[in-house]
A and B are shown apart, each in its own frame.
Chain A
């Protein structure tokens, strides 16, 4: 902690850390100094001059900007003296010279810092009667953001954000003096994944979002705080709606997670909530065709057919997939439903992560996101964070760039963090274990990397880099990481609330509260509340789908899961669902999977229900209801409760909050966490295990065994390429598909090749390439990508119109026929 110094602000003596900016010190002690360019999460520039204050110096008082002056012992600051006020009024009058007075049509009007501070600190009258500056307006600088240069006051918040925070310096000032304006580079749009943040931090209406353009005014928005559920970080957001329509998300500054920033997927990925395609009534399939049905009728069908299968073949013939897109309460209801009502251990919330459920839920010691701010070294052996988890990417980037932490990135391809990495290791998919063995050995070139990694404290972000990767590799990486000094592991999986669902026991190997499925003490504790639970070994997602194909399993319950799109081996998913005797789906949309179901129930989406979610560090946060669900849609737990009543074994839930109390009772790590706590005392969320509670399973991977690793390494068949199949931020997932302004941004199918491979195959940029795997064969345009190792092709997963290539490592690649012009 820095030394405290005494400074005097407006006659009041305050103690602040040495070196603190005067503007921040004053604000922390209740004195607001007006500002436009200064943002608490960015470097200061002193660009707008709005924060002029008077500071006494030995040579008399001077006027200076509070955002660039650091507090020193004995400093005397006047923020509202006559001179300071005159200066502030002058600056505002100056800023308004060219600012158009089109506030009534401006999206920012009503929440505009320029408006507000003009009212509070401005002169009230302008002496400028000449014609204002005119530009063409508005110009789209990306698919999501409009720029109005007339309104810009040149505070450089957007350009600094793009450069300092996002690492996408795609906008910059052009020209000088009166002609200065923000511009994109020619032929290069502001296609940053974080462009929406500039709209939120713009202190005027110069940057506006196309998705919110003219939809509503700030004063008629109903603003409710919630937590984003697009990825596992759980960014704090404000959900803003008008007339029962969600109209926008804004980032809320939660120091523990997103610090106010959001990726564009999170910011604009709300359109699916109000989509016309949402299910509104239960659907029952009669002779191959869906028919709208009443709840009673649909529930009867489920009770008859699912009940018959359970009665005749036992609960063991039923599998359950899903829960990762739901709240903890819904996931808990799903786990309890599968284990007590159906009597099956075949349930899984992981769709494709492939990682051990115990590793994800209970790796120990586990890092918090905020540990990135203390780490000396960060190891990222995980998916490209920029593509899969924007906020986490920004946190890592910030730690490296602003704090000087060392960064080691290991990935088969270039990632968004490469430009900041101290060491970047590229490898062929399949050869990761061998690479890990060599890295742990520290011979040759790896000595330097190992030396960097030996600087503790170390935080390792560990996940599966691609969908063809050996699933066990992540655990080995975690084992290696934990052998480093003062190391912690942040397990990474992508799907919204997958960590919450695993904590709720939605996995064959886990019980609620991070307990192992076979553990007798945990089982006894649970059975006291639940009654008897099945003991046979459960299957994971692929096991369930394969079991359906093989006929071992007869029925499937889907809870917000779309295996046909989400699981790389789409063929097995489709065949499994087609060969099932009975499938019931609870979903928002008629997806590729729920289309194969026999009964589909309409569920409530994010923003329509209350509950809690748990992020990748174990932080539990509240999500809130803002609008009502369409038609007859209901919360997942209600639907499961209704089915359980028809099956004669009622779950007996009264409300989502009642479920949260049962979770706190049943799952020791969640003991003491209540909605009340999260809403009032723990605004940043509560980390599990909460308080003094421990957790039954503390998964600590064993040390690194080089021989075992060498044996684990795989190579593609001779003549074939190694396939790197990874997700992109925008893809063809069901929520993206129904968020129209984002779906258009999906990069689309492509085959990325190393230049040497391309030359060998006779392929040039854009020409068609034939790609063949065990599961599918497609023809896609080539992209030359020098960041790949030779012998590797990268294909983005789940793109519109492209069939899934499966998770097999080998892929046969050949130049396709040229399309004749």
Chain B
């Protein structure tokens, strides 16, 4: 008798789920990759480098992410910002920015270390490559375009598995955080995929914090 009880207890979950599957109460299996589940809000997927609303890069090449990285997978080199056509606010910009995704442990310390919220993590997680060099994501793949969408390393022609629509779910987001960010862009909704961050008020002490009446014209 004891044995039957044990069996029944052991198979309880299996039988319950089998009943749901057979009688259609709701499938537990997701038909990945045809469909995909909503990831948890704080999911740590691949990184993106964000831009300010005026299109300027947020990354200032300070290498704090590389310094914080416990896996030593980030390589950054800074350079002097061209005066006529600055790449980022301030004197310095990220000239080289590489992440070796094979080494990355997706801990998110780079995101915490970043003083300008330039690097954030998205919900993208499909990063299979057929060669080790391709696992090194460069600025070309990491930096989002003005719509907030990062690049894929391959085109769909090169790799049939590439789904460019998915990149639109990247969780990059923007905000006028830099002191020299244009105050006129504050309060304008930034693209914000899964985290759902919309309007953000300027921070205390930030240029243009209490200057709404100044924007009459």
User: Which residues of A approach B to under 8 Å, CB–CB?
Assistant: 102, 104-105, 109-110, 129, 137-138, 213-217, 219-220
Contact = CB atoms under 8 A, between A and B. Distances in A.
Interface stretch (B63-71, B148-156, B188-196): B63-71
A104 B116 contact: yes
B205 A129 contact: yes
Contacts of B91: 102, 105, 137-138, 214
B135 interface: no
A129 B206 CA distance: 10
Contacts of A219: 63, 67
Nearest to A105: B92
A104 B94 CA distance: 12
22 contacts: A102-B90, A102-B91, A104-B62, A104-B64, A104-B115, A105-B60, A105-B61, A105-B62, A105-B78, A105-B90, A105-B91, A109-B62, A129-B204, A138-B91, A213-B80, A214-B78, A214-B79, A214-B91, A214-B92, A215-B78, A217-B67, A219-B63
Nearest to B89: A105
A220 B61 contact: no
Interface residues of B, number: 18
A477 B35 CA distance: 93
Contacts of A104: 60, 62, 64, 115-116
Interface of B: 60-64, 66-67, 77-80, 90-92, 115-116, 204-205
B7 to A, nearest CB: 60
A215 B78 CA distance: 6
A791 to B, nearest CB: 50
Nearest to B204: A129
A255 B39 CA distance: 63
A5 to B, nearest CB: 45
Given A105-B90, A219-B63, A220-B63, 16 more contacts: A102-B90, A102-B91, A104-B62, A104-B116, A105-B78, A105-B92, A109-B62, A110-B67, A129-B204, A137-B91, A214-B91, A214-B92, A215-B77, A215-B78, A216-B63, A217-B63
Scoring A105, A213, A217, A220 by chain B CB atoms within 10 A of each residue's CB, the highest score goes to A105
B100 to A, nearest CB: 14
Contact of A214 (B61, B66, B116, B204): B61
Scoring A102, A110, A214, A215 by chain B CB atoms within 10 A of each residue's CB, the highest score goes to A214
A16 B105 CA distance: 54
B80 A214 contact: yes
Contacts of A129: 204-205
Scoring A110, A137, A219, A220 by chain B CB atoms within 10 A of each residue's CB, the highest score goes to A220
Nearest to B67: A219
A104 B62 CA distance: 5
A711 B116 CA distance: 77
Nearest to A102: B90
A137 B90 CA distance: 10
A102 B180 CA distance: 12
A220 B90 contact: no
Contacts of B204: 129
A109 B113 CA distance: 14
A627 B130 CA distance: 33
A137 B91 CA distance: 9
B58 to A, nearest CB: 11
A220 B62 CA distance: 12
A104 B65 CA distance: 11
A23 B62 CA distance: 34
Nearest to A213: B80
Contacts of B62: 104-105, 109, 217
Contacts of B90: 102, 105
A432 B44 CA distance: 79
A137 B83 CA distance: 11
Contacts of A213: 80
B11 to A, nearest CB: 56
A220 B66 contact: yes
Nearest to A146: B91
B50 to A, nearest CB: 16
- 9 A-B pairs with the lowest CB-CB distances in the bound complex, closest first: A104-B62, A214-B78, A105-B92, A217-B63, A104-B115, A214-B92, A219-B67, A105-B90, A105-B60
Contacts of B79: 214
A118 to B, nearest CB: 16
A219 B67 CA distance: 7
B115 to A, nearest CB: 5
